[in-house]
Amino acid sequence: MGGEETESGYPIHTHDVIIIGAGLTGLRAAIETVDAGLDTAVISKVHPLRSHSVAAQGGMNAALGNAQAGDSWEDHAFDTVKGSDYLADQDAVELMCKNAPGAVIELEHFGTVFSRLEDGRIAQRPFGGGMFPRTCYAADRTGHNILHTLYEQLMGRELEQSSGSKESKESKENKENKENKGSRGNEERKSGGRITFYEEFFVTSLVKSGLSYGEKGPEQGERCVGCTCINLVDRTLHGFSCRALLLATGGFGRLFTRSTNALINTGDGASLALRAGVPLKDMEFVQFHPTTLYGTNILITEGARGEGGYLLNKKNERFMKDYVPKAMELAPRDIVARSIQQEIDECRGFDDKYVLLDLRHLGKDKILERLPGIRLISMDFAGVDPIEEPIPVQPGQHYSMGGISVGNDLATEVPGLYAAGECSCVSVHGANRLGGNSLLETVVFGKLAGQGIGKFLSSSGSGARPGEEDGKADRKAVLEKLSKEAERVKALLARDSGVKMAGLRDELQKLMFESFGVFREGKKMEEGLEKLLKLKSRYPEVYIDNKSAVFNQALIYALELRGLFDIAEAVSRGAIARKESRGSHARTDYPDRDDENFLAHTIYRLEGPGAEGKPGRKVEGKPGIRPEGKPVLEYLPVRLGKFPVKERVY
């Protein structure tokens, strides 16, 4: 592990760049920073290949025009903006869609095995809300294939750095040969880049330092200079010092009882950012996926409907004809999820809990070729073979459109702190994400974040290498944070009675699904928030029985839970204040979209005590925000563009 030194008993690791999270975004960013010659560390609470990206099934949108000629990035952008219910920032969407074809081709060049058309080009399938079949896929294991590919790319770079010293032994001829083959095409790679993985490290806090390198005064000069972690293997605390830090921690699905998300998706990054004084954006927009397997809520890809699957109620009707007769099963997710929920609520579901997804008419061959993973999931987890029987499905939390507020350069308000992927909000998904756009976001914005960091850290950028004094101050700030975090962990472990972690977490998850689920209503949400605040007030009494130093998972759950409460409050306050229905945010008491008042992003931040928070108020940049700050809501106008705001009809 590079740059390790021990001060006051804590190991401190120094790297140019720290990336928290090792899913698609984190790994794609790491490739970029390593290739820019930067010493990069990737920190993850699980092994990178266990990241939730691995579970992505259906595919990645890009206007390649392979499956049907005539598609263009503009059409992709229009579909995305319309799908977002016009809340996405149009310049950000343009950036993503323009970069999409290149991103898919690059993954193919990295070695990803995509499914193919007869002529050998990358295959594409239709997805909800798209005018063209635009979703590139690897059967129904697209995330798995891409995540493994990116990890393999980093393995190659790791091997090169470790054999760097042996390089002189290698014959020159051999080397030239290698360069000719060049796995990265025409792009240049700078030397000196390094990659180090810190696996099964849980990040407990971000560290800021008030001293600046440049001419800015110390007050405005607060930069993100590192983080503190617990090594799960032995519960030791580690400090990390860096010049730029990227949050790529994914979503917060585990805030809800029913979620397709991996159990590790506890929104850690959003909470870390919030506590570092960075605002969250559009947190009330939570995507409920229409088809999650009844019982376990494991995802059944939209690709199943893209390939032609039907949704049936208990009268054996394709009920989507009553909601969106043109688009039917391939309307966008928010609309299909609400339709299913309404069928269930109005007693046309099965056992008042689910509807059926019927694939039988696709035939055995197509199911085996295009949806083999879905078949296995259905058999393993519901005892249903979709070749013979329809799959029981219900809506479940799937994705967070909102997240850490960043600009198109993925930078947050705090210099040196970046966020990308699901944990961030650029915003490209607005009020509802189209299927196939999240994988796209990870690789496009992961790469851009890496490039942005590279620029920031270049000799001309404002994050140029710190002088010795600043470096010392940075490490001192890390050390100070370490001792604070040590106290927090110690206090948690010292408690022998109080509130049980698991029970409190269960109550929170149930509450969020009931009060802030598919359909929302003002009074119910107000009551929900009240209950939430009561639950939150019990968090300081949480205790665990497990005092072990080795793989103390109870301790990690307890630490994750604090973050879940942070996020829950952001989601619920944003949802209550947004008195309209837009995209995934569907209020029965405000059924219409209200562009006059709410064509705007919700900005949620914690402020120091005494600050007044009311919507629309301008807030000065405030360093040194206290962790138990007061929640404040503001609104930020949407950046419109070539697509005029219209009614959203499918």
Give catalytic residue positions.
333
Strand partners, 607: 630
Nearer to other proteins, 351 or 468 (CB): 351
Distant-in-sequence, close-in-space partners of 517: CB < 8 Å, separation ≥ 6: 256, 288
Q: Which listed residue (34, 80, 94, 114) binds other proteins by CB under 8 A?
A: 114
* Residue 184 binding other proteins, by CB under 8 A: yes
* Residue 459 binding other proteins, by CB under 8 A: no
Is residue 277 within 8 Å of residue 368, measured between CB atoms?
no
Shortest spacing between CB 136 and other proteins, in angstroms: 9
Q: Which stretch binds other proteins (CB under 8 A): 11-19, 25-33, 150-158, 611-619?
A: 150-158
Q: Which listed residue (9, 164, 295, 467) binds other proteins by CB under 8 A?
A: 295
CA distance 533 to 529: 6
DSSP-based three-state secondary structure for 93: helix
Question: What CA dihedral angle connects 596, 599, 604 and 610, to 10 degrees?
Answer: -20
Which residue from 275, 273, 286 is spatially nearest to 406, judged by alpha carbons? 273
* Residue 552 binding other proteins, by CB under 8 A: yes
Kindly give the pairing relationship between strand 135-136 and strand 124-125: antiparallel
Kindly give the pairing relationship between strand 286-293 and strand 391-400: antiparallel
* Residue 299 binding other proteins, by CB under 8 A: yes
* Residue 167 binding other proteins, by CB under 8 A: no
The mark string for 186-225 relative to other proteins (x by CB under 8 A, - otherwise) is x---------------------------------------
CA distance 550 to 490: 15
* Residue 164 binding other proteins, by CB under 8 A: no
* Residue 354 binding other proteins, by CB under 8 A: no
Q: Which stretch binds other proteins (CB under 8 A): 174-182, 310-318, 438-446, 636-644?
A: 174-182
Strand partners, 40: 17, 195
Q: What are phi and psi of 585, to 5 degrees?
A: -90, 95
Q: Which listed residue (68, 502, 510, 533) binds other proteins by CB under 8 A?
A: 502
CA distance 392 to 349: 10
Q: Which listed residue (1, 170, 263, 325) binds other proteins by CB under 8 A?
A: 263
Question: What CA dihedral angle connects 585, 446, 303 and 582, to 10 degrees?
Answer: 10
Q: Which listed residue (19, 203, 262, 479) binds other proteins by CB under 8 A?
A: 262
Nearer to other proteins, 114 or 285 (CB): 114
Q: What are phi and psi of 461, to 5 degrees?
A: -75, 165
Shortest spacing between CB 646 and other proteins, in angstroms: 34
The mark string for 126-145 relative to other proteins (x by CB under 8 A, - otherwise) is ------------xx-x--xx
CA distance 569 to 581: 20
Nearer to other proteins, 173 or 545 (CB): 545
Nearer to other proteins, 14 or 153 (CB): 153
Q: Measure CA of the first residue to CA of the last residue in the chain; give whole Å.
A: 53
Nearer to other proteins, 106 or 334 (CB): 106
Question: What CA dihedral angle connects 603, 484, 423 and 245, to 10 degrees?
Answer: 100
Q: Which listed residue (8, 69, 70, 119) binds other proteins by CB under 8 A?
A: 119
Question: What CA dihedral angle connects 345, 348, 352 and 358, to 10 degrees?
Answer: -120
Give the residues lining the site for other proteins (CB under 8 A). Answer: 46-47, 49-52, 54-55, 104-105, 108-111, 113-116, 118-122, 138-139, 141, 144-145, 148-149, 152-153, 155-156, 158-159, 180-186, 233, 262-264, 295-296, 298-299, 373, 376-377, 380-382, 501-502, 544-546, 548-554
